[in-house]
C-alpha cells in the first residue's frame, strides 16, 4: 500500500465516531447533495442494474441512503474502523475493506458508483488510474456520481483537510479526467460550501460510454 493510503487509513481510523456523528442525519441538512444522490439513484434504477458501490463509504450513511432509494448498495472503504462502524450501524447492508485502486468487483458488474468526497485525498497523478478502475466495474451505460471540493484556476490545490491532506479540483479538469476514463459528464451541480472551508462543493454525474 502506498504511503499516502496508509496515512489516510490511519487518519480515518482515528476519527470514526466524530465523523459518523457529523453525518448522522444522513442528507437531511444537505439539500443539494440529496438532489444529486436522488437523481443518481433514479438514473441507476432506469438502467435495470441496481447493483451500486459506495466507494470510500466511511460510516456507511450514504450506502444506507442508496439502499432506501431502492438500489442494491454496498460499501467499500480503506479504513477498517470505518467499515466496522458501518457494519454495526447498518447490519443488513454489506461493507468490506477495499482500496479504490483495486476494487474487489468483477468487470462491468455495476449499474452505479458513488464516490462522495472519497477521492479528495488521492494525489492528482493517481486519479486517472482510480477513475479507470471505476469505469472497469461499471456496466456500459452505468452511472457515476462523484463529489469533491471545487477550486478556480488550472490546477488542483493541496490543502490541510482536518483529517489528512486533500486536494480541491478545477471542475473542468475533473470532467476531463472522467472523459479520459470513458465517463461522459452530463450534469454538474456547484454550490456554496456546507463548511467554512471556502471551496465550492461540486457534484458531477457521468455515464460510461
Ligand atoms: C471524506 S471521507 C468521505 C466518506 C463518505 N463517502 C462521505 O461522504 O461522508 C473519505 C473516505 O474515503 C476513504 N478512502 C480514502 N482513500 C481511499 C482509497 N484509496 N480506497 C478506499 N477508500 C478510501 C476514507 O477511508 C474515508 O472513509
Is residue 14 within 8 A of residue 162, CB to CB? The reply is no
Residues with CB under 6 A from ligand 1: 5, 8, 12, 23, 56-58, 62, 77-79, 82, 99-101, 116-118, 120-121
One pLDDT digit (tens) per residue for the chain, 209 residues: 888 999 999 989 999 999 999 887 788 889 999 999 999 999 999 999 999 999 999 999 999 999 999 999 999 999 999 999 999 999 999 999 999 999 999 999 999 999 999 999 999 999 999 999 999 999 999 999 999 999 988 999 999 888 889 999 999 999 999 999 999 999 999 998 766 667 899 999 999 99
- Spell out a b/e string for 154-165, using b for 16 or more CB atoms within 10 Å of the CB, else e: eebeeeebebbe
* Residue whose C-alpha cell is 475493506: 97
First to last CA, the chain: 31
**Ligand 1 centroid distance, CA of 119 (Å):** 7
User: Could you give the count of Cα atoms lying within 13 Å of 199 in the half-sphere of its Cβ?
Assistant: 24
Total-model pTM: 0.97
Nearest-CA residue for ligand 1 atom 15 is 118
Residue 155 belongs to what domain range?
A: 2-208
> How many independent structural domains does the chain possess?
1
**Ligand 1 centroid distance, CA of 117 (Å):** 7
Q: Which residues contact 21 (CB under 8 A, 6 or more apart)?
A: none
Find the CATH number of the domain harbouring 90: 3.40.50.150
Amino acid at each position: 500500500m502506498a504511503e499516502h493510503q496508509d496515512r489516510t487509513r490511519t487518519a480515518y481510523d482515528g476519527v470514526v465516531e466524530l465523523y459518523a456523528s457529523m453525518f448522522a442525519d444522513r442528507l437531511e441538512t444537505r439539500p443539494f447533495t440529496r438532489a444529486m444522490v436522488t437523481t443518481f439513484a433514479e438514473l441507476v434504477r432506469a438502467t435495470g442494474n441496481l447493483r451500486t458501490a459506495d466507494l470510500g463509504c466511511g460510516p456507511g450513511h450514504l450506502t444506507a441512503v442508496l439502499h432506501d432509494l431502492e438500489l442494491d448498495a454496498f460499501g467499500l472503504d480503506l479504513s477498517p474502523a470505518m467499515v466496522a462502524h458501518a457494519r454495526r450501524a447498518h447490519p443488513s447492508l454489506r461493507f468490506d475493506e477495499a482500496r479504490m485502486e483495486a476494487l474487489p468487483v468483477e468487470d462491468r458488474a455495476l449499474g452505479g458508483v458513488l464516490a462522495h468526497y472519497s477521492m479528495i485525498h488521492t494525489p492528482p497523478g493517481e486519479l486517472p488510474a482510480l477513475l479507470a478502475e471505476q469505469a472497469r466495474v461499471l456496466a456500459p451505460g452505468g452511472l457515476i456520481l462523484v463529489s469533491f471540493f471545487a477550486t478556480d484556476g488550472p490546477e488542483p490545490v493541496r490543502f490541510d483537510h482536518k483529517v489528512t491532506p486533500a486536494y480541491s479540483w478545477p471542475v473542468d479538469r475533473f470532467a476531463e479526467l472522467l472523459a479520459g476514463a470513458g465517463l461522459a459528464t452530463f450534469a454538474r451541480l456547484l454550490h456554496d460550501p456546507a463548511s467554512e472551508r471556502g471551496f465550492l462543493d461540486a457534484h458531477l454525474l457521468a455515464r460510461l460510454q
